[in-house]
Structure 1
């Protein structure tokens, strides 16, 4: 990659001061970031981890969660070197040059498009399942996809503060509905299901497949420039928000995996996977496990809110990226229309034509996430530190950077094996 000749303006202080502009809240930034991750993790993780099962899954979650959190801090550090409002395109252009900008930009765009499609697919799955079970209404997946996308995109067009407020309400609703359903799911859980007599030798071959999904599940990095700008380029506040976000995501994942694996046996997952492994399939399997009809309804509500939070976070990031890339003025109706047209029309059409691609899309998301969240940031942060050594730096030095970069290479190798059909996949 060639280093751009444009120099990032040197900082006047060791840490950027907040601007006078009205800033968002740490809680609001946290729920935007956490909400983006949680929808993917909540419903893809049971299928992706069915091979390694509960205990091994927890160990892998801790390791991957820490590395992905470190990566998000590096992206925050890079964002601090640029004017407020900058997103991935500006960050790449000002550090790794035009070639790196194209590679990084394609990976960011591809990830946003894939995840937007995945969440529309997941949202339509919940809508059609809920209507068929509780309303005896048969709605096509295409119509459900269109309704889901149009309603939530109207919120995205209102801006970051609107997404902040809606996501805060949704996260609160998720916690309430999840805790209510969790009480029944935990009470109905079986230790035999959670801790079956399966040797490590039978589990570990599937660990590599799991890692790519875990990367996507903790993939809140796509929102980092947005939330860093939202908090006024304040390193201290943004660091707190990202820490809260990763713990919030991990909290949901742990309880969800406990609930699912405690109620559905490992032997039942091949059938779930054969049906597509979509959100409706997971909730349907839980409904058959002996929980009450009321709890099943609450799970429907929870599932809708979980996917909605992720869709809002990813869509906001894609919206900001497209407007930054093409320099659209989103304060005007024309600018908003052009941004929405480029960012969302292709994914809506794809979701209508291919409505059952949730699990496959999440898997591909983990592949491209490696480029801009694990590999490129290490190159970019080193360039920024060389230019402006007195600005804020994430602790850990070269060793921590090497850990993130090395993990990115590992995930790339895993992906190569998966794409060539040489990676063991459960079910």
Structure 2
């Protein structure tokens, strides 16, 4: 895999690896190591297969910077309208969350070096500066994301080196809850943690010279990085704190403080990791929205820059309280976008003759493996996630 494809895999991983990763142990610890791991693997498998379906649709539809073009070519104007509406709702909600979180981090960072900005000023500054990076294009995001991801990996490794030696096997094997309904409820949190599919159309266009096999490997590798990161962090946190402790934590700060009480560097390391995880997620989601706007409105980069960031920034500045209650619906939107819509696109395209599509340089036309059985299981996976969101 060349550097461009590797960078694209890291964009996928960075989009998934949000600051919410740190909360995963608090969600899963009560169910013990075995059930927590099994559920994580099921969610990863389901989301990765759905992402490969979207990859197939993106390739067969002839690319396109955003899902707008792919939906129009596969699902018609009605499907295009539904897809665009869901995608905009999801991306704007996510960007609002990242701007709110980043504004708070920027304000604290600047305050520590003697620069006092209000929360509103910090949010505006972050959005404008990070937005310029997004508007510069996928190649710039790719190069910056590689550097940010390298630092994130270093922070995660340092955390694991601190925590692994003190892991208690007894803690890992204890389950304080055997409620499968409660376990299913956590699926919504885990599913959102693998929400990287929005960047796939952009990355297919960015890597248009790559073979279909390379594009498939790009998606699989990009999804494996967050899977292993989540599992390693889960084991390290569960092994150092009891399930009873983690269930009673009200937020991630309390979890970090508890780990930091016996590992002095944990607070600083995880604070850096949180900031970088938030930034890489912001870049991935903003790239998807920016390219979607390029694809939909066909304006120059300056106009697209304004179109991309004006609504999320306004929402973060003036409607944060109302937004927090709406954010719970983002997971439901993501189920349709990440599972059902790619499935509908792929079913439509598979009914057409393969000669209508362009194979890659090696003469291969990509199709996600598994046939009707895998498609049926993916359909059931989507309903499982909807049930988890609605319970």
- Under TM normalisation by the shorter chain, which class is it? 0.7 to 0.9
Q: 1:365 aligns with which of 315, 319, 330?
A: 330
Structure 1: unaligned runs, 5 residues or longer: 1-22, 329-334, 418-427
In the TM superposition, residue 224 of structure 1 has moved relative to its aligned partner by 0.9
Cα distance in structure 1, aligned partners of 2:201 and 2:73: 14
Structure 1 length normalisation: TM-score?
0.81
Q: 1:291 aligns with which of 248, 253, 263?
A: 263
Cα distance in structure 1, aligned partners of 2:353 and 2:257: 54
With 337-346 and 241-250 compared, the bigger mean Cα shift is at 337-346
Alignment of 1:292-311 (within 5 A): 292=264, 294-311=265-282
Cα distance in structure 2, aligned partners of 1:360 and 1:61: 26
Length, aligned pairs only: 380
Whether the 8 Å CA contact 1:52–1:206 is kept in 2: the answer is no
Q: Deviations over 1:130-183 (max 9, x none)?
A: 677x66987654343333323322211110000000111111111112111221
1:184 to 1:127, Cα distance in 2 relative to 1, 3 A = farther
**Pairwise CA RMSD of aligned residues?**
2.7
Match of 2:360 in 1: none
1:243 to 1:265, Cα distance in 2 relative to 1, 3 A = same
Cα distance in structure 1, aligned partners of 2:123 and 2:33: 32
1:81 to 1:197, Cα distance in 2 relative to 1, 3 A = closer
Whether the 8 Å CA contact 2:8–2:218 is kept in 1: the answer is yes
Cα distance in structure 2, aligned partners of 1:284 and 1:359: 25
Q: Deviations over 1:53-93 (max 9, x none)?
A: 54322111101101111111111111112334342011111
1:239 aligns with 2:206: no
Whether the 8 Å CA contact 1:177–1:301 is kept in 2: the answer is yes
Cα distance in structure 2, aligned partners of 1:371 and 1:160: 26
Q: 2:156 aligns with which of 178, 191, 199?
A: 178
Q: 2:303 aligns with which of 317, 338, 351?
A: 338
Cα distance in structure 1, aligned partners of 2:219 and 2:62: 20
Match of 2:204 in 1: 228
Would you tell me which structure has more helix in proportion to its own residues?
2
1:177 to 1:285, Cα distance in 2 relative to 1, 3 A = same
Cα distance in structure 2, aligned partners of 1:188 and 1:361: 40
With 204-213 and 134-143 compared, the bigger mean Cα shift is at 134-143
Cα distance in structure 2, aligned partners of 1:65 and 1:252: 12
1:356 to 1:151, Cα distance in 2 relative to 1, 3 A = farther
Match of 2:361 in 1: none
